[in-house]
């Protein structure tokens, strides 16, 4: 079965977070980056699998992950002013949160 655009974006987002967490660990020894990136990526992989069959639930979980990352990394960007990784993850999380919110609204009207 072909993936929907939501699934493609979700798996790309999961990949970004997973690789970012691994990079944070390798570059600065941050086990928190590894754990949070890996956990976020794992949950988003689950969201990816649930989008076709349970879009409202999956989009709600994705929205939760995106919102947490938006606020956490947004605060980190505001504090450090560093575009990468905090600024990039904040912007991507904002876009994904909007996409998941759209999915929730669309599914509730179907």
Query: What's the whole-number mean pLDDT along residues 20-47?
Result: 94
3-state secondary structure of 29: coil
Query: Helices in 3-51 by DSSP H: which ranges?
Result: 5-28, 31-50
50 in Cβ contact with 57 (< 8 Å): yes
The answer on pLDDT for 55 being more than 90 is yes
Per-residue pLDDT reduced to its tens digit, 59-103: 999 999 999 999 999 999 999 988 888 899 999 999 999 999 999
Number of domains making up the chain: 1
CA dist 41 and 36 (Å) reads 8
105 in Cβ contact with 83 (< 8 Å): no
For residue 37, give Cα distances in angstroms to 12, 34, 53: 13, 5, 25
Up-side HSE of residue 39: CA atoms within 13 Å toward CB? 10
Label residue 110 by pLDDT band (50, 70, 90): low
pTM of the model: 0.91
Query: What's the whole-number mean pLDDT along residues 43-55?
Result: 96
Which percentage of the chain shows pLDDT scores above 90?
Answer: 87
Per-residue pLDDT reduced to its tens digit, 84-94: 888 999 999 99
Domain residue limits at 36: 5-108
């Amino acid at each position: 079965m072909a993936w929907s655009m939501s699934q493609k974006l979700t798996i790309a987002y999961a990949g970004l977070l997973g690789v970012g967490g691994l990079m944070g660990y390798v570059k600065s020894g941050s086990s928190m980056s590894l754990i949070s990136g890996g956990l976020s990526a794992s949950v988003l992989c689950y969201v990816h699998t649930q989008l076709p069959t349970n879009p409202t639930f999956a989009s709600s979980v994705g929205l939760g992950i995106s919102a947490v990352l938006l606020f956490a990394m947004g605060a980190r960007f505001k504090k450090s002013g560093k575009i990468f990784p905090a600024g990039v993850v904040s912007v991507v999380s904002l876009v994904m949160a909007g996409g998941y919110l759209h999915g929730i609204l669309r599914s509730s009207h179907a």
